[in-house]
Structure 1
Amino acid sequence: MTARPSPGDLLAVDGRASVQFAGDRALTFRVVSVADQPTYAGWIWLTGYVLNRRGEATAKREIYVQLAGLRPAPPPDGTSRRAPRSRRASSHALRPDQRGAASGDRSGLRTGAQAG
């Protein structure tokens, strides 16, 4: 990958990108930002998240790597290219006594129609 990475790119960072990531120190990295500051020719500062095998962010890092050594990473195990589902409960999944809070009524009080 000699093209400049963009936010959202998923990269395999290993010894080809920098000796500090050689061997068992290799990582999968999701780019958040790319620094515009001048560096040595062919090198770049990236900010992003280290991902585990399930695709979960485990640490935010800023790394200094060689562009020529970066490679696109395959999607992490157990993930698809689809966006993750929202975990927010919908009102139909709530008990009748919980629906007031889900619809924006945060008072915890029931009206006469709800109390029955």
Structure 2
Amino acid sequence: MADLSRPRAGDLLRVGPEASVQFVRPILFRVIRVLEWTTYDGWRWLEGYQVNDRGEAVHRRAIFVQPAGLRTVPVPVAVGQARRRGLRRSPR
């Protein structure tokens, strides 16, 4: 598992109640950047996109979380990429 004490741009995370009580219902979140705002010890502001199960951005937002409660998620294959892979022709 990646060290999430300092999430990085591009990380895909599962954000649930372990990270903050506001996420009783977990979300998937793709990090754009970690905001360097002064806050409570052990907490961070992250800016990014809430994504659906296919990895498509649905909402841009900033979230306030405890990095120790974040979990990495495998990156889903985009629908278009999967189709292109299936349509490849064998070399002649």
Settle same-fold status: TM greater than 0.5.
yes
- Show structure 1 runs of 5+ residues with no match: 85-116
Higher relative contact order (CA closer than 8 Å, sequence separation 6+): 2
Q: Measure, in 1, the Cα distance between the counterparts of 2:41 and 2:5.
A: 13
Displacement over 6 Å in runs of 4+ = none
Structure possessing the higher radius of gyration over alpha carbons? 1
Alignment of structure 1 residues 1-116 onto 2, 5 Å: 1-22=3-24, 25-76=25-76, 79=77
Q: Which one has a larger percent helix, Structure 1 or Structure 2?
A: 1
Q: Give the alignment's TM-score, normalised by structure 2.
A: 0.77
Correspondence for 1:98: none
Task: Name stretches of at least 5 consecutive residues in structure 2 with no aligned partner.
Answer: 82-92
C-alpha separation between the residues in 2 aligned to 1:33 and 1:74? Answer: 19
Instruction: State the secondary structure of the residue aligned to 2:18.
Output: coil
Q: Kindly indicate which of the two structures has a greater share of residues assigned to strand.
A: 2
Amino acid at match of 2:7: P
